Amino acid sequence: MNISEKVNIWEKCDPSTTEAINCFQKHWGPYSSSSRRYPIINLVEEIIDPAVNVYMNSIPASYKMFIPGAEAGIGFSGMLKLIGFEPYQRLQRQLLRQFCMTTELTDAQVQCFIDTVESLITLVGSCQDKRPKKSSMAPGVNLNDKRIKRFCKLCGELTEFAKFAASVDANQINDLELLEHTKLELSHQYCNKHRPKLTCGKWNSIYKRDRRSLDQFNTELQRLTNQCAKRAQPNAKSGNALIDQYFFRLMLNLTLQPADKAELRNLARRMVDSKLSDAKKRMLLLKRTGFSQAEIGKQILNVKQQPITRQAVSKALASVRKEFLL
Ligand SMILES: [Zn+2]
């Protein structure tokens, strides 16, 4: 299942909300969050709002404090317009977590409330990712974009949410785990290893470290992807001929295809993590071309724009991970 194409409705979701979401999906073809002609929020207002309103009037008043805007009388689409798709999901997830912590979870009405809210959160996530049908049919770019969205921003793993959705889909998850998951804030952007905050509430140091190198990660990923798409000649488009040559030769040793998104992302991650700088890439290429370490030193300048010593070249080359040697 492509999560951005099909909204995952939770089992015990309120029946009329379920019906509304199904109806919504039948009509949402041309709509998207970025379209001016077919703004998806209008469709939400038209189809989802009435069902949610009816449901909200059927639940105990005390539940309303766990629905963004409900106490102030702001409707579902109204709240989305007010704060945006992404913050809405975060806020609703947080409120739902509070609800789960303060409420006995055995009651059928409680379970229905949780599943309805979860379904609405999923719906908002899908609206956010939704692309108009036409452009998703176009080859290449859009489809790839969609796939990338399911990956952790910092590596080749699926986001926590995508992984969760996949395991629900494959029936690899039991009811108890499902209940546990409703208490967690699953990340739509990061994998389990890279979630910004740990379950205990502390900041995740791996996230912090890798977030700092996000630009470099994206740069390396772009180069690898460029080279992968046109293997017969240097095509990394790094702006430096030696670096382009490096990627060209590195890729010749690998069997990766442009469709191997996860592998490419993990390769880029390892490249950044192992500190394979552009200077090192140029050194590796020169070495491969037959230059001695002393000669390489003359061609690679340090930060002070001076040639580097043979020893420094030797040290730099010795630090390169085996998989990145040419
Ligand atoms: Zn990750």
- pLDDT digits 0-9 by tens, 205-249: 999 999 999 999 999 999 999 999 888 999 999 999 999 999 999
What pTM did the predictor assign? 0.53
- Work out the average pLDDT over 113-133: 86
Assess contact for 209 and 215: CB atoms under 8 A: no
CA 174 – ligand 1 centroid, Å: 25
Distance, CA 263 to ligand 1 centroid (Å)?
Answer: 12
Nearest to 66 by CA among 33, 103, 32: 103
| Gap from CA of 182 to ligand 1 centroid (Å) | 21
Does 322 have pLDDT greater than 50? yes
| Span from the CA of 192 to the centroid of ligand 1 (angstroms) | 7
Average of pLDDT values for 248-265? 90
Residue with tokens 């770019």: 141
User: At 136, is the pLDDT very low, low, confident or very high (cuts 50, 70, 90)?
Assistant: very low
Assign 73 a pLDDT band (cuts: 50, 70, 90). Answer: confident
**pLDDT, tens digit, 9 for 90 and up, residues 6-35:** 788 888 999 999 999 999 988 888 888 777
243 Cα–ligand 1 center, Å: 26
d(CA 274, CA 189): 23
Centroid of ligand 1 to alpha carbon of 90 (angstroms)? 19
31 Cβ contact partners less than 8 Å away, ≥ 6 residues apart? 38, 39, 40, 42, 43, 130, 132
pLDDT of residue 143: 30
What is the identity of the amino acid at 282?
R
Report whether pLDDT(320) > 90.
yes
- Whole-number Å distance, alpha carbon 224 to ligand 1 midpoint, is 18
Spacing, Cα 220 to ligand 1 middle (Å):
16
Distance from the alpha carbon of residue 151 to the mean position of ligand 1, in angstroms: 8
Give tens-digit pLDDT for 161-191.
777 766 665 555 555 555 555 555 677 789 9
71 alpha carbon – ligand 1 mean position (Å) = 37
Give residue 131 CA to ligand 1 midpoint distance, Å.
24
Ligand 1 center to residue 242 CA distance, Å? 30
Q: Give the distance (Å) from ligand 1 centre to CA of residue 264.
A: 13
Report the alpha-carbon distance of residue 129 to residue 150 in Å, rounded.
Answer: 10
* Model pLDDT, residue 166: 67
Query: How far away, in angstroms, is 215 Cα from ligand 1 center?
Result: 15
**Average pLDDT across the chain, whole number:** 85
Least confident of 81-90, 149-158, 161-170, 276-285: 161-170
Neighbours of ion ligand 1 (CB under 5 A): 152, 154-155, 157, 191, 194
Residue 160: CB partners within 8 Å, gap ≥ 6?
186, 187, 188, 190, 191, 192, 195
Per-residue pLDDT at 199 exceeds 50: yes
Query: Ligand 1 centre and the CA of 110: distance in Å?
Result: 33
* Structure confidence at residue 145 (pLDDT): 36
Residue % of the chain over a pLDDT of 90:
52
pLDDT at position 182 is: 52
**What is the C-alpha to C-alpha distance for residues 243 and 251, in angstroms, rounded to an integer?**
12
Q: How much distance in Å is there from the Cα of 244 to the middle of ligand 1?
A: 27
Q: Read off the pLDDT band of 128 (50, 70, 90).
A: confident
pLDDT band for position 139 (50/70/90)?
very low
pLDDT of 263 strictly over 90 = yes
Instruction: State the pLDDT confidence band at 316, using cuts at 50, 70 and 90.
Output: very high
Cβ-Cβ contacts under 8 Å for 291 (sequence gap 6 or more): 299
Residue 209 is predicted with a pLDDT of 92
Rounded-to-integer distance, Cα 189 and Cα 233, Å: 34
Q: How far is the CA of 133 from the centre of ligand 1 (A)?
A: 29
263 within 8 A of 156, measured Cβ to Cβ: yes
Residue 144 Cα to ligand 1 midpoint, Å, equals 18
Ligand 1 center to 212 CA (angstroms): 13
Q: State CA 293 to chain mean position distance.
A: 42
